[in-house]
Amino acid sequence: MMLQGRHILLTGAARGLGAEIARCLAGHGAELILADIAEDEGRATAKEVGAQFLPVDLGDPASITALAGSVSKATGGKLHGLVNNGAIATGIGGIGFEEIEIDSWDLVQRVNVRGTWLLTRAAAPMLRASGSGRVVNVASDTALWGAPNLMSYVASKGAVMSMTRSLARELGKDRVGVSAVAPGILTTESTDYVPEARHRQYSDGRAVPGPQAPGEITDVVAFLLSEGALTLTGQVLPVNNGFVFK
């Protein structure tokens, strides 16, 4: 129960990895607020874990501002943790960089990069006010080893890693820790579209061979949200069972 009494906002919580993170954080005693653009599924996950649900479109600055306002009211202006998990990850891969449509590229960067920045900015006053705020950004190891045919996503997650390091320095003086996890391919519905050859590349190439379930990384996220994780601020942790060493 290392998160007992800590108010935590989790985006992209409706399904897949986000829902698994929600279940884990709830099990560690967190007071959760879940947010997602998929309202029906998000509310179902929130009901399952005993959390509050709020809708958000990370591509819309006004929606992010509204979410932060609602969170502030719900938490009395103090937020102990923010997990930036919401992102566009499906339907954008499998093509070379020369084939990416500009509108698709811009949408991925708007949600994955700008959305992460804007929500962190909106939450910063609440994180500072808590006295032990933590931000965990969900990146991807594709940006560490340079996965091909996935350029818009890889670029967005590389930006998230860089923002993590810079935010750690800007927020550190207020004892707000900012870190990132970089998973590889996980066995969720969001990776169903990934070619079998890429799945085998990960499964065979890990130091701990085989597929990796989302539940295998959630305890790491939980720890990074705890008071004891401040010394890891600025770090990007490849939580991929040894597919990439950093």
Measured CA to CA, the distance from residue 158 to residue 147 in angstroms comes to 11
By the 8 A CB rule, do 176 and 230 touch? no
Active-site residue, 193 included: no
The total of other beta-carbon atoms located within 10 Å of residue 125's CB is 15
Quick one: how far is CA 160 from the chain centroid? 10
| Options 115, 123, 142, 153, the catalytic residue | 153
Tell me how far the alpha carbon of residue 241 is from its chain's centroid.
Answer: 18
- Alpha-carbon distance of 84 to 136, in angstroms, equals 6
Which helix H or strand E contains 105, and what residues bound it? helix 102-109
Q: Which phi and psi (to 5°) does residue 141 adopt?
A: -70, -10
> Angle at CA 153, nearest 5°, toward 87 and 157?
75
160, 188, 198, 242 from 211: Cα distances, Å? 25, 11, 11, 12
Catalytic residues: 153
